[in-house]
Amino acid sequence: MISRRALELATAILTGSFGVAVVVQSLDNGIGWSSAGVDAGTFPFLTGIIIVSGSLYNLVRGVLPAASLANVPIAITPLELRRLTSLFVPAAIFVAAIPLLGMYLASALYVFAVLAIPRHQSVPRALAMAAATALGLYVVFERMFQVSLPHGALAAAFGL
Amino acid sequence: MDNLPELLHGFTIAVTVPHLALMCVGVLLGILVGVLPGLGAPNGVSLLLPLTFGMQPVSAIILLSSMYWGALFGGSVTSILFNIPGEPSSVATTFDGYPMARDGRPTTALATAFGSAAFGALVGVILITFLASWVAEVALAFGPAEYFAVYFLAFASFVGMGGAAPIKTVVALAIGFAIAAIGIDTVSGSVRLTMGVDELVKGVNFVVAVMGLFGIGELLVAVEEEFHARAVSSKIDWREVFRAVGRLPRHALALLRSAAIGCWMGITPGGPTAASFMSYGIARRFSRRGRYFGTGEVEGIISPETADHAAGTSALLPMLSLGIPGSATAAVMMGGLMIWGLNPGPMLFVDQKDFVWGLIASMYVGNIVAVALVLLTVPVFAALMRIPFVIIAPLIVIICVVGAYSVSNSYLDVVMMLGFGIVGYLFKKLFYPLAPLVLAIVIGDKAEDAFRQSMLMSKGSLGIFFANKLVTCLIVGGIALLLLPLVLQLARPFRKPAPPTNETTAQEKVII
């Protein structure tokens, strides 16, 4: 279970650290005024400052038990968390597998795994859908629109 | 009235067989992404974007804008038949649309929604026809300072009128600006904000951000709540369609009021979502039958639908004439314009007459095509909703991955897309608005350039933003909008605190 407050804090910290990174990086480009006009780092520096201060405000708002936040104390219930991970974790594995397996194999395996392992579909049907997905991608992108999707290190090893 | 010959010329471009075919394809694809949860107009349009690079700009924009109309209509179909808004902007349609359909009047609800939507869109297009070229003419005289002031006003209006928490809007905007700054600086040529990753020199493409924020993010929000597609009958009774449309003129006042709200929210970037909620809220307050709202009132369907489509259409006005998109989808289209080599803004009306007037004429035709197609295909798309979500979800993930990859054949983009997905989920969950983030990514560079050019002109003095009446008005208006939430908050202790209602939480849920 994740409380609304924890989620607010995590998001504010996330945006805040992005802001800090922007501020630090923009200092490299120089901020302020030079002979060529406004330095390249100035605008990012200002946006970084705005992000940091806005995130701090949201952080404080998240900590203080404000009336509006008390209405929804729980942001994600255990059941919802399970559903979220069951969507996101396979998707992340799929993306991680693309450099090795290539888009076609990875997406076919992904569709098969998501449908067959939790027994949403029978194995033959899941296999058929996986094959159809890969084939569909190939026909639409490689053939119709001539966009080459990554074939993966594995295919390269076999000389494809 | 001197626009009429140009509009007629536009019709000769728009009403040709290939363009009509493109409209049909666009509208059908649009209805598809509108119906499917997790896919919406912004990422639908950005998915199609890479496929338009080989096309004539006119044909490309007709395809993309038709998709936008289709998506707006498609969102209403699921709202009414399933109580599941396919698009954030059609949430308000569920309040009265679904009860009416459940009571055995699905055709009436759909026909009322489409009829009023078409009216809203028509008002939006007429507004564009007569106003856009005039605005562009005024804008031709703009210098960098005026441009920056207009950008400032646009972003300030998100903060003041977007409906989300103001500081969260500011953070979302600023993050968008920072993302826009990643890569090579257009003025000095120096490399900025790459965080040590060399590949980021090419910058972060807005399509990657849209795929993640709207695609994966929305999917994650959707998977949390299991869908129960409690479908009501999706059969269309054609006689009832004409009867329902025939009854619309009785609600002329609601129609006109909602169209006005929609146009206003579309031009000042408030977006269709905010427009439909505002229109619904105002209708409930002022309608004589206001207390019956929520039980299947006709005006409860008319108001959000008219405003939604009026806002969606008129969002293209500032995009065409000023180069400032009025909604997230318009921002994506504007990104497309820049990729096709067009420079969005007043010069379009001088250099690209065929493009502009072809597009405007296609909006008239496209909306008629959309109404006809959506009525004909309601049963087909309603059947689509019965496909289990577990099958649709992985397909949408694959579509987003491939879409992000095909922007510039880069694996890093896919990884970033997934990262944007998490950000999109968190932002949606915590009511950070997404539209300003996307807008800032698309036009952040232009706003920055305008600022730096004006600083060059004034040798570093901010006085240039108060140099003449026009620019002063724009800046002061922007500051006023920025301060508006603060003033409202300070004024609150003097009023009785309103009891929280269910509707406000529903509204909070969908502000993007």
What chain A residue is nearest to B499 in terms of C-alpha separation?
Answer: A68
B200 has a chain A CB within 8 A of its CB: no
- For residue B166, which amino acid is it? P
A83 has a chain B CB within 8 A of its CB: yes
Residue B502, judged by CB atoms within 10 A of its CB (0-12, 13-18, 19+), counts as exposed
Closest CA of chain A from B71, distance in Å: 22
- CB < 8 Å from B in window 58-77 of A: 58, 61, 71, 75-76
Cβ–Cβ below 8 Å for B192 and A40: yes
E strands, A5-152, where? 33-34, 37-38, 74-76
Select the more confidently predicted residue: B385 or B167.
B167
pTM of the model: 0.85
CA distance A82 to B151: 42
Write out pLDDT tens, residues B167-218: 999 999 999 999 999 988 877 888 888 887 888 888 898 889 988 998 898 8
CA distance B379 to B71: 16
Cβ–Cβ below 8 Å for B398 and A7: no
Question: According to the model, what pLDDT value does residue B11 have?
Answer: 93
The dihedral built from the CA positions of residue B271, B273, B274 and B280, taken in this order, carries a sign that is: positive
Question: According to the model, what pLDDT value does residue A21 have?
Answer: 93
pLDDT over 70, % of chain B: 93
Contact B108, B244 (CB under 8 A): yes
Question: According to the model, what pLDDT value does residue B230 have?
Answer: 60
B50 has a chain A CB within 8 A of its CB: yes
pLDDT level of residue B397 (50, 70, 90 thresholds): very high
Question: According to the model, what pLDDT value does residue B90 have?
Answer: 84
pLDDT over 90, % of chain B: 28
- For residue B411, which amino acid is it? Y
- Mean pLDDT of all residues belonging to chain B: 86
**Chain A positions in Cβ-Cβ contact with residue B421 (cut-off 8 Å):** 88
Question: According to the model, what pLDDT value does residue A61 have?
Answer: 85
pLDDT(B501) > 50: no
**Chain B positions in Cβ-Cβ contact with residue A8 (cut-off 8 Å):** 430
pLDDT level of residue B505 (50, 70, 90 thresholds): very low
- CB < 8 Å from B in window 26-55 of A: 26, 29, 33, 36-41, 43-44, 47-48, 50-51, 54-55
What chain B residue is nearest to A34 in terms of C-alpha separation?
Answer: B460
Q: Stretch B89-107: mean pLDDT, rounded? A: 87
Q: Stretch B291-307: mean pLDDT, rounded? A: 90
- For residue B46, which amino acid is it? S
Write out pLDDT tens, residues B215-250: 898 888 888 876 655 656 667 788 888 888 889 899
pLDDT level of residue B497 (50, 70, 90 thresholds): very low
A95 has a chain B CB within 8 A of its CB: yes
Closest CA of chain A from B118, distance in Å: 33
**Chain A positions in Cβ-Cβ contact with residue B194 (cut-off 8 Å):** 25
Select the more confidently predicted residue: B358 or B506.
B358
Joined tokens for residue B92: 């308000």
Question: According to the model, what pLDDT value does residue B506 have?
Answer: 44
A44 closest CB neighbour out of B167, B193, B225? B193
Question: According to the model, what pLDDT value does residue B160 have?
Answer: 80
CA angle (B204 as vertex; B356, A6 as ends), nearest 5: 115
- For residue B454, which amino acid is it? S
CA distance B476 to B479: 5
Write out pLDDT tens, residues B413-429: 999 999 999 999 999 88
- For residue B55, which amino acid is it? M
**Chain B positions in Cβ-Cβ contact with residue A59 (cut-off 8 Å):** none
Q: How far, in Å, are A26, A33, B183 from residue B189 at the CA level?
A: 14, 16, 9
Question: According to the model, what pLDDT value does residue B500 have?
Answer: 42
Cβ–Cβ below 8 Å for A21 and B195: yes
CA angle (B162 as vertex; B147, B426 as ends), nearest 5: 110
Which residues of chain A carry a pLDDT beneath 70? 65-73, 159-160
Select the more confidently predicted residue: B229 or B17.
B17
Question: According to the model, what pLDDT value does residue A66 have?
Answer: 57
For testing the chain B interface, which of A88, A94, A112, A151 should be mutated: the one with the most B CBs within 10 Å? A88
Residue B102 neighbours by CB distance under 10 Å: 16
Q: Stretch B15-35: mean pLDDT, rounded? A: 92
B224 closest CB neighbour out of A41, A83, A129? A83
Cβ–Cβ below 8 Å for A36 and B188: yes
Helix, coil or strand: residue A33: strand
Question: According to the model, what pLDDT value does residue B189 have?
Answer: 80
Joined tokens for residue B146: 């005026």
Closest CA of chain A from B218, distance in Å: 12
Whether the ipTM is more than 0.85: the answer is: yes
Closest CA of chain B from A27, distance in Å: 10
Q: How far, in Å, are B46, B149, B160, B347 from residue B152 at the CA level?
A: 25, 5, 12, 21
**Chain A positions in Cβ-Cβ contact with residue B390 (cut-off 8 Å):** 114-115, 118, 120
Identify the residue whose tokens are 């509204």. B507
Helix, coil or strand: residue A2: strand
Helical (H) or strand (E) element with A84: helix A78-116
pLDDT(B137) > 60: yes
